[in-house]
C-alpha cells in the first residue's frame, strides 16, 4: 500500500516551514549586504571622480591585438576586443583539454606497464612536471621557443609544409571553396550514422550479449561520408602552403611562440595530474576483474578497453572535471608571456578606461560561465557512463 500523502502545514511548529523561512531570511540578508556594499562602492567612486558603468564597451578601443582568431582593428569597440580575448582563451583551453587528456591517459596507462623503462619514464614525467610551478614551466618553454630555436631565415623543416622557428610554427591550411560545404554535410551525416550505429550496437548487446565493434566501423563511416561529400562538392583540394624565402616564411597558417608556449605548458602540466587520476581509477577496479578477463582469454589491451576503463570512469571523471576547470583558469597565466588572452585584453582596457570594477566583473563572469559550462557537460557525461546498480 502507498503511504498516505504528506500534509504540508504552514505553521511555526513545522520544521520544514521553519527551514524555508530561515533560508528566505538568509537570502534577503545576503542580498541586502551585497546591495549595501555595491551602493557604498559606487558612492565612493563618484566622490573621487571615478566614472562607472559599462557604457565604455561601445567606445573605440584604440589598441591592436597581435594574435587573433576574429578579425580586429583598433577602431573597433572594447566589446569586440573582449570577444577576441575570450576567443583566444578558448583557443588555448579547448585544444589544451584535448591534448592533456590524450597525453595524460597514455602516461597514466604507461605507469601501469610491465615494461620497466616505460613505467620509469612515465613516473619521471609525472614527478617532474607535477612538482614544478606552472609559471616557471611557461618561462622555460618560452625561453626554448624564442632563444634556442633558429631564426626564421634558417627555420627548421621537420615535415613537408611545416616550418618551425623563433617566429612560431607555419603550416598549410585548406583554401575555402564552395565545394567544402559538401564535405561538411558529409561529416554531419557521417556523425549521425555513427550515432545510429552505436545505438544499434548497444541495443544488440543488451538483447543478445554479443558486442558489435563501434570504433573502427564508426571511423570508417565518418571518413566515407566525408569523402562522398567531398566528391559531390567537386573535390576541392587547394592548399595555402607556406613557402620559405631568403629572409622569412610566407603564406599558410601560423601560430606564434606565445601561443605554443601557453599550449605546451598547460598540456604537459595538466597531463601530469590527469595521468595520476587515470592510474588511480584503473587501480580502483577490483583485481577479480583482471582474473575474470584472463579467464576469458582477453588480451591486456582488450582487458583495459572493455573491462577496466569503463569501470574506472566513475572514479576518473569527477577529479578529471576539476583538472579541466584548472586548465581553463590557468590559461590566465598567458599574460606572463605576452599572449593576448582575456586577462591581457581586460588589463589593457582597465588601464585605458580606469573602469576597474567593470573590467574585473566581466573577467569573472567569463571565467565563471566557462567553468559552469564545463562542469555541466562533464556532469552530463558522468551520468551517462556511470555504472547503474539495481
Q: pLDDT (tens digit, 9 = 90+) per residue, 83-124?
A: 999 999 999 999 999 999 999 999 999 998 888 999 999 999
The architecture that CATH gives domain 73-151+256-333 is Orthogonal Bundle (1.10)
Neighbouring-strand partners of residue 243: 250
Helix (H, G, I), strand (E, B) or coil at 168: strand
Q: What's the rounded mean pLDDT across residues 188-206?
A: 87
The pLDDT tens digits of the residues spanning 314-354 come to 889 999 999 999 999 999 999 899 899 999 999 998 888 87
* CB-CB contact of 340 with 67 (8 Å): yes
Query: C-alpha distances in angstroms, 303 versus 112, 162, 252, 282, 311?
Result: 13, 38, 44, 11, 11
Q: Which pLDDT score is estimated for 389? A: 58
Per-residue exposure over 46-82, b if at least 16 CB sit within 10 Å of its own CB, e if not: eeeeeeeeeebbeeebeeebebbeeebeeebebebbb
pLDDT over 90 percentage in the chain: 34
Looking at the predicted structure, is the pLDDT value of residue 158 above 80?
A: yes
Task: Give residue limits of the domains in the chain.
Answer: 73-151+256-333, 180-229
Q: Which pLDDT score is estimated for 6? A: 59
Mean pLDDT of the chain: 86
The pLDDT tens digits of the residues spanning 244-279 come to 887 888 878 888 899 999 999 999 999 999 999 999
Query: C-alpha distances in angstroms, 13 versus 7, 97, 259, 271, 368?
Result: 13, 52, 62, 55, 40
The pLDDT tens digits of the residues spanning 16-69 come to 878 888 899 999 999 999 888 877 877 776 776 666 677 778 888 888 888 888
Distance CA(331)–CA(342), nearest Å, equals: 9
- pTM, rounded to two decimals: 0.81
| Element of type H or E holding 174 | strand 173-174
Question: With bands split at pLDDT 50, 70 and 90, how would you rate the model's confidence at 243?
Answer: confident
Neighbour tally for 249: CB within 10 Å: 21
Question: Smallest Cα–Cα separation from 340: which of 60, 86, 57?
Answer: 86
Q: Which pLDDT score is estimated for 29? A: 93
* CB-CB contact of 223 with 215 (8 Å): no
Q: How many residues does the chain have?
A: 390
Q: Which pLDDT score is estimated for 288? A: 85
Q: Which pLDDT score is estimated for 52? A: 67
pLDDT over 70 percentage in the chain: 94
Looking at the predicted structure, is the pLDDT value of residue 7 above 60?
A: no
**Cell numbers 569527477 label which residue?**
318
Amino acid at each position: 500500500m502507498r503511504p498516505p500523502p504528506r500534509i504540508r502545514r504552514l505553521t511555526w511548529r513545522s520544521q520544514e516551514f521553519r527551514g524555508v523561512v530561515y533560508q528566505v531570511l538568509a537570502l534577503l540578508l545576503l542580498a541586502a549586504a551585497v546591495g549595501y556594499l555595491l551602493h557604498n562602492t559606487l558612492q565612493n567612486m563618484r566622490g573621487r571622480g571615478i566614472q562607472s558603468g559599462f557604457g565604455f564597451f561601445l567606445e573605440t578601443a584604440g589598441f591592436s591585438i597581435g594574435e587573433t582568431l576574429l578579425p580586429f582593428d583598433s577602431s573597433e569597440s572594447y566589446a569586440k576586443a573582449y570577444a577576441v580575448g575570450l576567443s583566444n582563451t578558448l583557443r588555448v583551453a579547448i585544444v589544451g583539454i584535448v591534448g592533456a587528456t590524450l597525453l595524460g591517459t597514455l602516461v597514466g596507462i604507461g605507469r601501469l606497464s610491465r615494461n620497466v623503462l616505460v613505467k620509469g619514464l612515465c613516473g619521471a614525467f609525472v614527478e617532474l612536471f607535477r612538482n614544478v610551478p606552472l609559471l616557471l614551466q611557461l618561462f622555460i618553454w618560452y625561453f626554448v621557443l624564442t632563444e634556442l630555436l633558429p631564426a626564421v631565415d634558417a627555420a627548421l623543416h621537420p615535415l613537408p609544409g611545416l616550418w618551425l622557428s623563433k617566429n612560431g610554427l607555419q603550416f598549410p591550411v585548406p583554401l575555402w571553396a564552395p565545394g567544402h560545404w559538401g564535405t561538411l554535410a558529409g561529416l554531419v551525416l557521417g556523425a549521425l550514422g555513427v550515432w545510429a550505429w552505436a545505438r544499434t550496437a548497444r541495443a544488440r548487446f543488451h538483447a543478445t550479449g554479443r558486442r558489435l565493434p563501434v570504433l573502427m566501423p564508426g571511423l570508417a563511416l565518418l571518413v566515407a561520408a566525408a569523402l562522398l561529400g567531398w566528391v559531390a562538392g567537386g573535390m576541392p583540394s587547394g592548399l595555402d602552403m607556406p613557402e620559405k624565402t631568403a629572409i622569412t616564411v610566407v603564406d599558410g597558417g601560423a601560430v606564434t611562440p606565445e601561443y605554443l608556449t601557453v599550449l605546451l605548458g598547460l598540456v604537459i602540466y595538466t597531463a601530469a595530474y590527469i595521468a595520476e587520476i587515470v592510474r588511480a581509477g584503473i587501480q580502483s577496479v577490483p583485481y577479480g576483474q583482471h582474473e575474470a578477463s584472463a579467464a576469458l582469454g582477453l588480451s591486456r589491451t582488450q582487458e583495459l578497453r572493455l573491462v577496466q576503463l569503463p569501470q574506472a570512469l566513475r572514479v576518473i571523471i569527477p577529479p578529471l572535471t576539476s583538472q579541466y576547470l584548472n586548465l581553463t583558469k590557468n590559461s590566465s597565466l598567458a599574460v606572463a608571456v605576452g599572449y593576448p588572452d582575456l586577462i591581457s585584453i581586460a588589463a589593457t582596457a582597465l588601464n585605458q578606461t580606469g573602469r576597474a570594477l567593470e573590467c574585473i566583473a566581466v573577467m569573472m563572469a567569463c571565467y565563471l560561465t566557462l567553468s559552469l559550462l564545463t562542469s555541466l557537460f562533464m556532469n552530463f557525461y558522468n551520468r551517462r557512463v556511470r555504472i547503474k546498480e539495481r
